[in-house]
């Protein structure tokens, strides 16, 4: 399906690192653009100059790229409808504000903060909801002049039409708004910069955005935005409001629930392809209900019909499960390459690439994310493993274990270390030989002596990778040291 008129956008504010919610919205927009061979635009909404920071803009770029979402137009690459940063577009907003003033859809409002507070107070006393009274709607020229002479700097307010608004949301369906509780709202602040509701309309209109796909937290802004389009005689885009992402306790997902920035997840070692798969499932489901879906399949299957209007719950267990699945399925050379940056504390040069692959392959089954690697591989490095007291006391020091290890020490020099299969068979024989000791106890003793743990990678592989010298040394240590 090709429709070059499809132009969608993501418009993050650079007031923090790219949030998973924004990334999910970016992904849905990106997928929608791809589906129609349309364009995906990145616009930076940095009108809040005090809270905006260049470092967050960079984080937004880097995080989107990290999860494979590239854009066709944006602040860094330009495009036909630039600039793509709101702070560089003020003249454009001024031009349209003037147009609305001239056509009578907007007016200067000179009310002071105190005056507005009084209005609010009065509404409270009269037990009615507050909306701005509109007292500056019809100021005479003299009144306006008077206020200016008093040193008041006006804002510009939009004149809300008195009518019901009905629109068809592509996710939520038909939405009917009672706008009687929406007063005339500010579109240009007294410092001559636009408010969100105004800038977003002007930008979407100028950038010829065809579909606005965003979180449902913006649904209450939509009537205001539609009225501005109408006042300007502009085409209203199609809206699609996607259900929010909630924490498991069904509150808004925030820092107190753990990481919320895409870059934090990537640093922790969630594979971008797993993360993007997880993001897609936060509000979209595949027609075949399969959850593990590579990006290209998601791209070919995506449609707004399968996007949910109800909230999605961010389940870390599911992300861990998905990531573990991707870790297990990645070609070992690739996984090994990606793992290296998590292993900087170890001297990897003691192993060949092939051995390193074998180590990573041996531990990957138990990994949820790559930053668990140091803990998972530590016993492959150094002369002796770290053994915690409980394992030393309850496993290594027992009479039974000491007997097992003494027997094993006899076998260990001749295990033939390069052949994992043969090590495996010999261990099988050894377990039989040790009867009536339970096979599990036999393996625990050996594993604890070699790795300091009671579980981990396949022990035959561990033995093969550690090699004869270290195996003998560790067994010997376990026999003599703890007693
Ligand atoms: N800057 C707004 C946000 O990040 C954009 C909202 C919109 O898409 O209209 O929430």
Q: Are residues 81 and 133 in the same domain?
A: no
Structural domain count, the chain: 4
Ligand 1 center from residue 194 Cα (angstroms): 14
Give the structural domain span for 460: 389-478
User: What pLDDT is recorded for position 483?
Assistant: 44
Ligand 1 center from residue 24 Cα (angstroms): 13
Catalytic residues: 255
Domain assignment present for residue 230? The answer is: yes
- Cα 86 to Cα 117, 189, 215, 235, 388: the distances in Å are 30, 15, 20, 21, 57
- Cα 440 to Cα 6, 315, 427: the distances in Å are 62, 35, 12
Along the 483 residues of the chain, how does pLDDT read in single tens digits? 788 899 999 999 999 999 999 999 999 999 999 999 999 999 999 988 889 999 999 999 999 999 999 999 999 999 999 999 999 999 999 999 999 999 999 999 999 999 999 999 999 999 999 999 999 999 999 999 999 999 999 999 999 998 889 999 999 999 998 888 889 999 999 999 999 999 999 999 999 999 999 999 999 999 999 999 999 999 999 999 999 999 999 998 888 888 899 999 999 999 999 999 999 999 999 999 999 999 999 999 999 999 999 999 999 999 999 999 999 999 999 999 999 999 999 999 999 999 999 999 999 999 999 999 999 999 999 989 999 899 999 999 999 999 999 999 999 999 999 999 999 999 999 999 999 999 999 999 999 999 999 999 999 999 999 999 999 999 999 997 644
Q: For a substitution probing ligand 1, which of 7, 13, 75 has the most ligand atoms within 8 Å of its CB? A: 13
Q: Are residues 130 and 179 in the same domain?
A: yes
User: What pLDDT is recorded for position 26?
Assistant: 98
Ligand 1 center from residue 129 Cα (angstroms): 27
* Residue ending a domain, choose from 221, 242, 263: 242
User: What pLDDT is recorded for position 257?
Assistant: 86
Q: How far apart are CA 139 and CA 274, in angstroms?
A: 59
Q: How far apart are CA 137 and CA 156, in angstroms?
A: 10
Residue nearest to atom 6 of ligand 1 (CA): 11
Q: Are residues 258 and 394 in the same domain?
A: no
pTM for the predicted model, two decimal places: 0.93
Q: Are residues 105 and 221 in the same domain?
A: yes
Q: Are residues 461 and 349 in the same domain?
A: no
Closest atom of ligand 1 to 200 CA is 9
Q: Are residues 131 and 167 in the same domain?
A: yes
Q: Are residues 212 and 273 in the same domain?
A: no
* Residue ending a domain, choose from 190, 220, 242: 242
Domain assignment present for residue 318? The answer is: no
* Residue ending a domain, choose from 200, 227, 242: 242
The three-state DSSP-derived secondary structure of the chain is CCCCCCEEEECCCCCCCCEHHHHHHHHHHHHHHHHHCCEEEECECCCCCCCCCHHHHHHHHHHHHHCCCCCCEECCCECCCCCCEHHHCHHHHHHHHHHHHHCCCEEEECCCHHHHHHHHHHHHHCCCCCCCCCCCCCCCHHHHHHHHHCCCCCEEEECCCCCCEEEEECCCEEEEECHHHCCCCEEECCCCCECHHHHHHHHHHHCCCCEEEEEHHHHHHHHHHHHHHHHCCCCCCEEEEECCEECCCCCECCHHHCCCEHHHHHHCCCCHHHHHHHHHHCCECCCCCCCCCCHHHHHHHCCHHHECCCCEECCHHHHHHHHHHHHHHCCHHHHHHHHHHHCCCCCHHHCCHHHHHHHHHHHHHHCCCHHHHHHHHHHHCCCCCCCCHHHHHHHHCCHHHHHHHHHHHHHHHHCCCCCHHHHHHHHHHHHHHCCCCCHHHHHHHHHHHHHCCCCCCCHHHHHHHHHHHHHHHHHHHHHHCCC
User: What pLDDT is recorded for position 133?
Assistant: 94
Q: Are residues 370 and 342 in the same domain?
A: yes
Residue nearest to atom 9 of ligand 1 (CA): 200
Closest atom of ligand 1 to 25 CA is 8
Residues with CB under 6 A from ligand 1: 11-13, 22, 45, 200, 214, 218
Q: How far apart are CA 74 and CA 242, in angstroms?
A: 23
Q: Can you give the CATH number for the domain in which 468 is found? A: 1.10.10.350
Ligand 1 center from residue 428 Cα (angstroms): 62
Domain assignment present for residue 473? The answer is: yes
Q: Are residues 236 and 249 in the same domain?
A: no
Domain assignment present for residue 180? The answer is: yes
Q: For a substitution probing ligand 1, which of 9, 11, 64 has the most ligand atoms within 8 Å of its CB? A: 11
Q: Are residues 361 and 435 in the same domain?
A: no
Domain assignment present for residue 483? The answer is: no
Contact 183, 160 (CB under 8 A): yes
Domain assignment present for residue 156? The answer is: yes
Domain assignment present for residue 2? The answer is: no
Q: Are residues 186 and 309 in the same domain?
A: no
Domain assignment present for residue 73? The answer is: yes
Q: Can you give the CATH number for the domain in which 161 is found? A: 3.40.50.620
Q: Are residues 170 and 108 in the same domain?
A: yes
Q: How far apart are CA 17 and CA 32, in angstroms?
A: 24
């Amino acid at each position: 399906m090709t429709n070059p008129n499809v132009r969608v956008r993501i418009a993050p504010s650079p007031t923090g690192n790219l949030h998973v919610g924004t990334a999910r919205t970016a992904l849905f927009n990106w997928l929608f653009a791809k589906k129609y061979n349309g364009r995906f635009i990145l616009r930076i909404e940095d009108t809040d100059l005090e809270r905006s920071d260049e470092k967050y803009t960079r984080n937004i770029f880097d995080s989107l790229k990290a999860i494979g979402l590239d854009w066709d137009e944006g602040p860094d690459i330009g495009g036909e409808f630039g600039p793509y940063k709101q702070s560089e577009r003020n003249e454009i907003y001024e031009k349209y504000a003037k147009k609305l003033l001239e056509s009578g859809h907007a007016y200067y409002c000179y009310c002071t903060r105190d005056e507005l507070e009084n209005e609010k107070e009065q509404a409270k006393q009269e037990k009615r909801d507050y909306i701005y009274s509109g007292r500056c709607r019809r100021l005479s020229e003299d009144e306006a002049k008077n206020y200016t002479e008093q040193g008041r700097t006006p804002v510009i307010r939009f004149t809300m039409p008195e009518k019901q608004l009905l629109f068809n949301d592509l996710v939520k369906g038909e939405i009917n708004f009672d706008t009687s509780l929406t007063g005339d709202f500010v579109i240009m602040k007294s410092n001559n910069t636009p408010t969100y509701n105004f800038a977003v309309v002007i930008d979407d209109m100028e950038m010829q955005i065809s579909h606005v796909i965003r979180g449902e937290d913006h649904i209450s802004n939509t009537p205001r935005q539609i009225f501005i389009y109408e006042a300007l005689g502009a085409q209203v885009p199609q809206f699609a409001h996607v259900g929010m992402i909630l924490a498991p306790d069904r509150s808004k997902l925030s820092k107190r629930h753990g990481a919320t920035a895409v870059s934090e997840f990537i640093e922790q070692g969630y594979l971008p392809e797993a993360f993007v798969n997880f993001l897609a499932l936060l509000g979209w489901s595949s027609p075949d209900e399969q959850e593990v879906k590579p990006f290209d399949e998601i791209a070919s299957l995506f449609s707004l019909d399968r996007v949910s209007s109800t909230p999605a719950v961010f389940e870390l267990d599911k992300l861990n499960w998905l990531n573990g699945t991707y870790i297990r399925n990645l070609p070992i050379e690739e996984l090994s390459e990606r793992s290296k940056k998590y292993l900087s504390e170890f001297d990897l040069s003691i192993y060949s690439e092939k051995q390193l692959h074998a180590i990573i392959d041996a531990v990957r089954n138990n990994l949820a994310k790559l930053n668990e690697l140091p803990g998972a591989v530590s016993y492959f490095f150094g002369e002796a493993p770290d053994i915690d007291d409980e394992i030393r006391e309850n496993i290594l020091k027992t009479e039974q274990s000491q007997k097992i290890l003494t027997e094993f020490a006899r076998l260990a020099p001749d295990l033939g270390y390069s052949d994992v299969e043969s090590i495996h068979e010999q261990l099988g024989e050894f377990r039989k030989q040790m009867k009536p000791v339970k096979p599990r106890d036999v393996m625990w003793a050996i594993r604890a002596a070699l790795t300091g743990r009671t579980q981990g990678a396949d022990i035959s592989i561990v033995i093969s990778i550690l090699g004869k010298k270290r195996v003998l040394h560790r067994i010997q240590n376990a026999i003599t040291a703890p007693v």
